[in-house]
Amino acid sequence: MEHIRTTKVEQVKLIDRFSTSNKSLMGTLYLTATHLLFIDSSQKETWILHHHIAAVEKLALTTSGCPLVIQCKNFRVVHFIVPRERDCHDVYNSLLQLSKPASYDELYAFSYNPKQNESKRLQGWQLIDLAEEYKRMGVPNSNWQLSDANRNYEICDSYPRELYVPRTASKPIIVGSSKFRSKGRFPVLSYYHRDKEAAICRCSQPLSGFSARCLEDENMLHAISIANPAHHCMYVMDTRPKLNAMANRAAGKGYENEDNYANIRFQFVGIENIHVMRSSLQKLLEVSGTKALSVNSFLSGLESSGWLRHIKAVLDAAIFLAKAIAVENATVLVHCSDGWDRTSQVCSLGSLLLDSYYRTIKGFMVLIEKDWISFGHKFSDRCGQLDGDPKEISPVFTQFLEGVWHLTEQFPQAFEYNEAFLLQIHEHVHSCQFGNFLGNCQKEREELKLKEKTYSLWPFLLDEQKKYLNPLYNRDFSQKLVLLEPNTASFNFKFWRNMYHQFDRTMHPRQSVFNIIMTMSEQNKQLEKDFKELEATMKQRNRQPEELLTKEPLQSVHPASPALKTSPCFKKEQPLLPMKDSIRTIEGSNTADNRYSEYMEELSKAEPAVVSLEYGVARMTC
């Protein structure tokens, strides 16, 4: 609270940035320890978490007040007009401090309290068990084993404790290989395809320079290749452009020399580095945030940003990897520079194409835990959680989610989760509300004691699972797809409006196809429920005449009342008139196809003199 100079500012205007008439809402701005809150005159609340704020800009004073523009990591942009410059300056300085915490304990996750008991909080952290996930894949087995070489993070501090390696890879080979790889990230198992006996492995670039070699690293790759009994030749995928990899040789790094490694086929796939991606996103946001652009200007701006071209490059790499395993039965080793950005993108998307489990809600959580969180994607640096080097910030995980979204657009029946699920995960990657994405690696998370001090995101998403279900999902269809093969022709890539304009409601279609389908699905479920209730009621009513029939012989013992004997209502039932005279057709139908004819046929049968209202007809002859 020491950073907050002004807690409340009245008569603040919130501008709709895409309104041609500069439409605005008048309200009050509040500054709390965790949020910026705007309440307009109709009592509608707009909450902005401090950790979501990427940039704050105070513009020049105007006749209507002092403009304050806030850009958020979840792509919300808010434009306030504060009446007094001094208040605007105070809010501006406070937000600069509050949006860039200096240490982890200042993050929202450490103060967030959803009022869960301790046991439930711990159960939330135990929801995802990666050991169980590897068992589901079929590991350990005769070719792959769990290694304790990194049990105390002594070989690689950015890898998890538990790593799976070939059985023929001894500890000296592992240690030697780690010394020859950038950041000590030696080749390990990421995904095992039980049917093909092929694997996706991951690592960082070798420290080969122009001519250096390492026997232990060569033996490590040989052990990985022979761990696949169906295909001893394996691919080594370098996800970088070839020019970038060659430039790294001058710094003593580089890529594998095929002459030094037996049974490998080398492949570059050309995904750009984090700096290019950061610049590309900035250009995309400039185009999408410009008001009243012509169609030509928007499309040319989208093209010049290069954003969709980068998404295509990532997906093409994942498709190459998946086909190598599904079609050729070949194991693939993936790396980039340090093995925690492009490598995570390609390994996770490749696994998604190969395994229908990762297309379920629970499976997608497991995939993120495995290939992103446990293998040390630097969420803290890439998402700018702390006040650090802005050049380390890059939308690597956002690109992964966008790649998944494009897959859901091409295969709407193959995914259990919908777009809202992806957007909610993106929201909390940047919110710092939960502990899952804090820090840069597992070792750092253990030192922060996140499982003791914070909450896990996954149980909260599962509690609201109904909101994230895809109504078009077909489990049988998804499981039958051995491999998702998306078409990556240029025209299949489109601007993700609901990601980059999700808070700009005026930019959305007046009718949402997804919302219509969800509404129809709910209506169908309600109709099915009503039908079952009506069916049960009719069965119960059908049993009532039978009960009366069983009681009638007992009643005939007693003499009938004189009134009943003489009443014409209880005379022998007269035959019904012909059907064409007795049936009233519903408007717009004819006698031949009238849905109630079967009921009238039932009524025409001779029955004991029982009054029945079952079909809405009183069958009394008086």
117, 259, 603 from 245: Cα distances, Å? 51, 17, 86
Structure token pair of residue 325: 């395993």
Can you tell me whether residue 213 is helix, strand or coil?
coil
Helix (H), strand (E) at residue 334: strand 332-335
Question: How many Å apart are CA 368 and CA 354, to the nearest integer?
Answer: 15
Chain centroid to CA 306: 24
Contact 614, 541 (CB under 8 A): yes
Give me the catalytic one of 72, 156, 201, 336: 336
Structure token pair of residue 229: 């009994």
Strand partners, 234: 264
Q: Report which DSSP code applies to 585.
A: P
DSSP string, 294-319: -HHHHHHHHHHH-HHHHHHHHHHHHH
Question: 432 in the Ramachandran plot: left (φ > 0), alpha (ψ -120 to 50) or beta?
Answer: left
Contact 285, 500 (CB under 8 A): yes
DSSP string, 436-503: TT-SSSHHHHHHHTHHHHS--SHHHHHHTGGGGB-TT--HHHHHH-SS------GGG----HHHHSTT
Q: Tally Cβ neighbours within 10 Å of residue 254.
A: 22
Q: Report which DSSP code applies to 373.
A: I
- Please tell me the number of Cα atoms within 13 Å of 546 on its side-chain side: 5
Strand partners, 15: 24, 79
- Cβ contacts of 164 within 8 Å, gap of 6 or more: 134, 139, 140, 144, 145, 146, 147, 188, 189, 192
Question: How many Å apart are CA 375 and CA 334, to the nearest integer?
Answer: 13
Can you tell me whether residue 27 is helix, strand or coil?
strand
Establish whether 336 is a catalytic residue.
yes
Contact 249, 256 (CB under 8 A): no
Q: At what angle do helices 307-326 and 274-288 cross, to 10 degrees?
A: 130
> Comparing C-alpha atoms, which of 449, 333, 450, 429 is closest to residue 384?
429
> Comparing C-alpha atoms, which of 169, 120, 126 is closest to residue 149?
169
> Comparing C-alpha atoms, which of 348, 340, 327 is closest to residue 404?
348
Question: How many Å apart are CA 438 and CA 452, to the nearest integer?
Answer: 14
DSSP string, 554-582: HHTTSPPPHHHHH-GGGSPPPPPPPHHHH
Residues identified as active-site: 336
